[in-house]
Amino acid sequence: MNLFLAGAEAERVIAELPAARDSSFKDLKSKLKDFSRSIGIEVIGVTHASPFMRLDDVLRERDRDGYRSPFEERDVGLRCDPGRVMPGARSIIAIAVPYATSAGPGAAPFAGNAGKPGFDAQNPEQETSQDPRGRPRGRISMSSWGRDYHVVVGSILQQLSDFLTQNSPRPVRLASFVDTGQLVDRAIAWRAGIGWYGKNCSIFTRKYGSWVFLGEILTDLELEPDTPWAGAGSPEPAAGERYEGGEDGCGDCDICLRACPTGALDPRRPYVTNANICLSYITQVRGFVPRDMRTKMGFRLYGCDTCQEVCPRNERVAPAGLDAFRPRSRDDVAPDLLDVLTMSNSRFKEVYGLTAAGWRGRTVLQRNAVIALGNLRDDHGIDVAIPILKACLDDPRPVIRGHAAWSLGTVGGTRGRRYLEDRYRREDDARVKEEIVAALDQS
Ligand code: B12
Ligand code: SF4
Ligand code: SF4
């Protein structure tokens, strides 16, 4: 599958681009890069704003396979055409903002994956769930440990935009995006030359590995494009070049594809993610989690880092410099599950309101905490969990009662059965009743 522009198609689009780029714009680009470095953003590149032609095929194939998540823009044409997102756009400035950091005050500084808490390269699914006080803990993915990256990267893009406005030789139009725009951030990052694709679909940078957020600015300025990343990890290698091997890219490695807990990454189809069974998506979606996914969730409360944690390319990468991404406490990294389950709405806003994990609301995180309790395997943790799961059976929200039923069926033993039978007699929600019956069957 070939993704981006090549041959005659490329020539046609390039011919439509403005013929000459003013030398003052060349200066502006290099001044912008200097400014970006001065504010700590080292990975920055520029691409033209012509359509991403072959991305169209990739997105349509993804739709046909049922791999698109409801979080994505449905209009494929719009996703591939910067000119429709910002009429008159000529260039796109792409940045990568590193976010790997230590796991909180007192924790060792981040020094590549080997330093991540609870990470065991031989057994990525065996996560630290226990607190020294014996209270079970869940896990938040590293992308949500500190301040919400939409806000942090957004403010960096604002600084770059202000710089362009102040230094451009003519009035300039600008629009910036991080994550929530219609365009495909990874495709832009690749074409702007700031990184390559791993088989897990992540964009990797040489300095920070894949632990980077991506953002971009569309502008009507005609800035000189940088060269797209070529060779391994590029969807469009130069003639005769192979994808495998080389300094960058994955070569023969397929560790992440085999480590993915759900099969969202398929060893037979590198560079493709089935978003609907990716745990990152499942931990964010509202409502009932498919039963076959609940054990696979392990202790994940928000997001999934497995396909990045296992990656040898992330082993010796530099930490993020930004304080904003540092967690304030251990609870931001590995929350106490009982605290999560007893949180009021206002406490939830206080703890998660400024992080990326807060956007789906309290119920989603609490549902995931209930599932995590059902995944405990140690006797002490289970003893602590059973009373709270029993209390959850009386929660006013059916989604919490239904998942508590599943967890009690999994870890509750004889006590759990008694609680489930009792609840069944008083339950009037059909979906919860169905969960109780299934839980009694499995217990
Ligand atoms: C929807 C979405 C999700 C969905 C779907 C993910 C997906 N892989 O599509 C879900 C909820 C599952 C998700 C999960 C995550 N996401 Co997300 N997500 C997005 C979003 C909004 C759109 C992604 C998209 O358009 N997918 C469409 C498909 C086609 O793209 P793709 O999977 O990347 O596929 C590429 C490859 O297939 C490649 N390709 C195709 N053929 C070939 C052939 C060869 C040879 C090669 C080399 C490449 C190649 O081209 C495709 C287009 O880029 C973007 C933000 C944005 N607006 O772009 C963030 C974004 C991709 N997410 C991001 C992050 C951080 C994550 C998580 C790590 C979060 C977490 N810890 O839980 C996980 C990673 C999961 C994964 N393996 O991708 C970052 C990625 C940063 C990076 N370094 O790459 C982004 C860019 C947000 C941001 N601005 O920083 N996400
Ligand atoms: S984020 Fe987790 S579930 Fe999603 S593709 Fe990566 S390893 Fe698989
Ligand atoms: S784990 Fe291996 S295959 Fe996966 S992204 Fe890293 S280098 Fe590539």
What pLDDT does 415 receive? 96
Quote the ligand 3 centre to 120 CA distance (angstroms).
Answer: 16
Quote the ligand 3 centre to 61 CA distance (angstroms).
Answer: 23
Quote the ligand 3 centre to 346 CA distance (angstroms).
Answer: 41
359: which residues sit within 8 A by CB, 6+ positions away? Answer: 148
Q: For ligand 3, atom 4, which residue shows the shortest CA distance?
A: 256
The pair of three-digit structure tokens given for residue 236, joined into one six-digit string:
């469009």
Same domain, 171 and 297: no
In a domain, 65, yes or no: yes
Same domain, 326 and 336: no
In a domain, 431, yes or no: yes
In a domain, 361, yes or no: yes
In a domain, 14, yes or no: no
CB 200 within 8 Å of CB 257:
yes
Which residues are the active-site residues? Answer: 179
Q: What does the alpha-carbon distance between residue 212 and residue 214 come to, in Å, rounded to a whole number?
A: 6
Q: For ligand 3, atom 1, which residue shows the shortest CA distance?
A: 311
308: which residues sit within 8 A by CB, 6+ positions away? Answer: 113, 200, 202, 209, 210, 211, 256, 314
Same domain, 169 and 312: no
For residue 283, the ligand closest to its alpha carbon is: 1
CB 277 within 8 Å of CB 264:
yes
Helix (H) or strand (E) holding 378: none
Q: Which numbered atom of ligand 2 lies nearest the CA of 296?
A: 3
235: which residues sit within 8 A by CB, 6+ positions away? Answer: 1, 2, 3, 4, 54, 190, 197, 271
CB 307 within 8 Å of CB 142:
no
In a domain, 1, yes or no: no
How do residues 176-233 score in pLDDT, each as one tens digit? 999 999 999 999 999 999 999 999 999 999 999 999 999 999 999 999 999 988 877 8
Cα–Cα–Cα angle for 14, 17, 18, nearest 5°? 140
Q: How far is CA 364 from the centre of its chain?
A: 17
Tell which phi-psi region holds residue 134, choosing left (phi > 0), alpha (psi between -120 and 50) or beta.
Answer: left
Same domain, 211 and 325: yes
User: Best mutation site among 61, 148, 157, 179 for ligand 1, i.e. most ligand atoms within 8 A of its Cβ?
Assistant: 179
Same domain, 258 and 339: no
The larger pLDDT score, comparing residue 356 to residue 18, is at 356
Q: What does the alpha-carbon distance between residue 86 and residue 79 come to, in Å, rounded to a whole number?
A: 12
Same domain, 308 and 414: yes
Q: Which numbered atom of ligand 1 lies nearest the CA of 62?
A: 29
How do residues 276-301 score in pLDDT, each as one tens digit? 999 999 999 999 999 999 999 999 99
Sign of CA dihedral 420, 421, 427, 430: positive
Same domain, 73 and 50: yes
Same domain, 255 and 115: yes
Q: For ligand 1, atom 54, which residue shows the shortest CA distance?
A: 179
Which one of 304, 330, 356 terminates a domain?
330
CB 378 within 8 Å of CB 404:
no
Q: Ligand 1: does its nearest atom lie under 6 Å from the Cβ of 213?
A: yes
Same domain, 254 and 355: no
Q: What is the CB neighbour count within 10 angstroms for residue 391?
A: 14
User: Best mutation site among 186, 307, 309, 368 for ligand 2, i.e. most ligand atoms within 8 A of its Cβ?
Assistant: 307
CB 41 within 8 Å of CB 97:
yes
The residue-averaged pLDDT of 386-406 equals 98
Residue span of the structural domain in which 438 resides: 139-144+279-320+331-442
Q: For ligand 2, atom 4, which residue shows the shortest CA distance?
A: 278
Place of tokens 């924790």: 107
In a domain, 12, yes or no: no
How do residues 17-42 score in pLDDT, each as one tens digit? 544 455 667 799 999 999 999 999 99
Q: Provide the 8-state DSSP code for 169.
A: S
Q: Ligand 1: does its nearest atom lie under 6 Å from the Cβ of 228?
A: no
For residue 303, the ligand closest to its alpha carbon is: 1
**Which phi and psi angles does 272 have, rounded to 5°?**
-135, 135
| Domain count of the fold of the chain | 2
The larger pLDDT score, comparing residue 130 to residue 56, is at 56
CB 163 within 8 Å of CB 28:
no
Same domain, 270 and 343: no
Closest alpha carbon to 368 in 377, 357, 379: 357
Q: For ligand 1, atom 24, which residue shows the shortest CA distance?
A: 184
CB 44 within 8 Å of CB 33:
yes
CATH of the domain at 339: 1.25.10
DSSP string covering 201-239? S-EEBTTTBT-EEEEEEEESS-PPPPPPP-STT-SSPPT
Same domain, 115 and 257: yes
pTM beyond cutoff 0.85: yes
